[in-house]
Amino acid sequence: MTTLYTMPGTCSLACNIAVAWLDAPVEIHNLAYGDHKKDEYLKINPKGQVPALKFDDGEVLTELAAIMAWLGAEHGSEGYARDKRLGYREAEALSYMSSEVHAAYGPHFAAQRFAESEDAQEEVKQAAYTTLRDKYERLEHNLAHAGGQYYLGKRSFADAFLYVLTRWIDQTPIAIEDYPGLKAFRVRMEMDDGVKTALARQDMDPMD
């Protein structure tokens, strides 16, 4: 069976939610934190990151947006087809969330990669938080523009990733209360059966 490798607290939760929404025949293998850097997993994904999707023939697909695209193409119905408007808008949203918002968390998660001294690390963190505030303002605006319930007006994989981003904000000095639309979105998502299933499979708890 195809296996999705996940780890608590990571963006892999979004792929896990997608699997639950689609009821796709994908096994979830939840790694303990740190196991992603061990030899056993590095043989699967030498980048030492999650998510990774391993197929029956041993081939491995990495990167969240690519895995989401495969899930939609292989197991999705009308709303997730790549040749539909929702599909390409979904791809656009996932690309933005990955390359802009997720990437902006780099100094928060690993400040030592950007600076050596503690003072310098704190400076790059504060700069990252300034950037993230702008990103969350855009996410808040886009959600409201789409009607406030789903990021693209209809449920899509973009909502799964956005949910992850609304969880991460609590690890920073940024208050989700400053983004009431995103706060309400997170609450609604945690009432979703697929989200509940994915959280349980990754040994994670709801935020609200």
CATH of the domain at 47: 3.40.30.10
In Å, how far are 6, 34, 68, 155, 164 from 74, measured between CA atoms?
20, 31, 10, 18, 23
The residue-averaged pLDDT of 82-95 equals 83
Handedness of CA 123, 126, 130, 132 (dihedral sign): positive
DSSP β-ladder status, 60-62 and 52-54 = antiparallel
Q: Check whether residue 84 and residue 129 sit in a common domain.
A: yes
Whether residue 51 is preceded by a cis peptide bond, meaning omega within 30 degrees of 0, is yes
Check residues 3 and 72 and name the one with the higher pLDDT: 3
Q: Check whether residue 103 and residue 56 sit in a common domain.
A: no
Domain that holds residue 91: 79-192
| Helix %, strand %, coil % of the chain (to 5) | 60, 10, 30
Q: Check whether residue 65 and residue 88 sit in a common domain.
A: no
pTM score > 0.85 for this model?
A: yes
- pLDDT above 60: residue 81: no
> How many domains does the chain divide into?
2
Q: Check whether residue 64 and residue 112 sit in a common domain.
A: no
Q: Check whether residue 186 and residue 86 sit in a common domain.
A: yes
Q: Check whether residue 103 and residue 149 sit in a common domain.
A: yes
